[in-house]
Structures are given as C-alpha cells and as structure tokens.
C-alpha cells in the first residue's frame, strides 16, 4: 500500500480544564460528541483502519464508540499525547501554554521541539490507514509543520474535529482541516 490516510480526531470536551486536572475524562457533552462520531460522514468506512489513541483518558474515551462500531482495538501511542508540561504547576499551566503558543518554533524549549518532531516522525512512519485520537496541541503541531507556520498555534480545532492527511510514498500529498473554530482551549 503506497497511499496512507491518517485521520486525526481531537478528543471531546473534557470534564475539567487542562489547568485543573492532569488527566480528566470526558464531560457529559464530551461523551455525546464522541458518540456522534459513529455517524460522521467522513468516518463511515473505517474497516481497514487501525485505531490509535493518546494515553490520556479523554482521547481514549473519545475513541471508544467508533472503535466499538468497527470492532477495533485501540492502540495506545504516547507520541500523540498532549504537549509535555510535567514540571509546570497546574495553576500555572494556562499561562505557560499561552506563552508557548506565541513563541516561535525555533525558540521553543528543547523538550517541546523533541515532542513536536517525534509526533511528525511517528505519523510519517505509520504504515496503515489509521484514525488517531489526540489533542489540540498535537493537531496544531502537525498543522503548523504542514503550513510552515512560525509558531505551534496555527488553527483552533473544535472538539472532535478532524485533520486528515494523505501520504503517498513517504510524502505528504494533501491535508484537510475540519471545524477550525476558535474556542476556549480546554486541552
């Protein structure tokens, strides 16, 4: 198979804001958003796709209804987890993230550059059509690379929005973004 389709889906609405909880599950609305994915027009034919998720609960919970529909196991891949912030106090995370969002990519801390580069390396090495359940900043990291943006932040993916990439012979042929909507960043 030379052409590979990758469908990145941002998790549904979390029960807690990113700065309030280290690994929140989905809110009631987030669970509803995840269930709606089973009837999404771009996700009706995924029999030949692998299902991959960030290890975070909100991503795994977003994957469950679609994985159940297609009788798929969800493979956990740490590369697609949210932006690393382990040494940042919860109360400082939103402020820290806003600073990172406005920092030019070449000026980012080394560990953020490594995280960003690892995401792109991983996606370029996927060998099968895949659906990847992930986070706001992961999707931005990918899109900023594809758009040659100066900063990580280059669009505002809504909950359960889709970024689709087509790779052919290890080269990105196209990408599309669905539901680029400026919303509160509740990673």
Closest Cα to residue 59, out of 97, 10, 113?
10
| Sequence-distant contacts of 140-145: CB under 8 A, at least 24 apart | 141/83, 141/115, 141/116, 142/8, 143/175, 143/177, 144/105, 145/116, 145/120
CATH code of 3-177, in short, is 3.40.50.1240
pLDDT tens-digit map of 10-34: 999 998 776 666 788 999 999 999 9
| Averaged pLDDT for residues 73-99 | 90
pLDDT tens digits along 31-82 = 999 999 999 999 999 999 999 999 999 999 999 999 999 999 999 999 999 9
Q: Does 187 score more than 60 pLDDT?
A: no
Domains of the chain, by residue range, sit at 3-177
Measured distance CA(9)–CA(53) in Å, rounded: 9
């Amino acid at each position: 198979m030379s052409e590979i389709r990758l469908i990145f889906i941002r998790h549904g609405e979390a029960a807690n804001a990113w700065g309030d909880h280290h690994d929140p599950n989905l809110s009631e609305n987030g669970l509803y958003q995840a269930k709606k994915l089973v009837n999404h027009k771009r996700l009706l034919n995924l029999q030949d796709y692998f299902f991959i998720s960030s290890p975070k609960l909100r991503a795994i919970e977003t994957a469950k209804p679609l994985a159940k529909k297609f009788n798929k196991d969800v493979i956990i891949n740490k590369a697609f987890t949210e932006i690393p912030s382990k040494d940042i106090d919860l109360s400082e995370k939103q402020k820290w993230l806003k600073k990172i969002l406005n920092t030019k990519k070449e000026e980012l801390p080394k560990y953020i550059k490594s995280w960003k580069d690892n995401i792109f390396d991983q996606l370029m090495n996927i060998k099968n059509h895949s659906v990847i359940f992930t986070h706001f900043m992961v999707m931005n990291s990918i899109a900023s690379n594809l758009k040659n943006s100066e900063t990580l932040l280059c669009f505002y993916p809504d909950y359960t929005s889709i970024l689709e990439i087509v790779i052919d012979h290890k080269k990105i042929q196209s990408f599309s973004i669905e539901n680029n909507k400026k919303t509160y960043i509740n990673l």
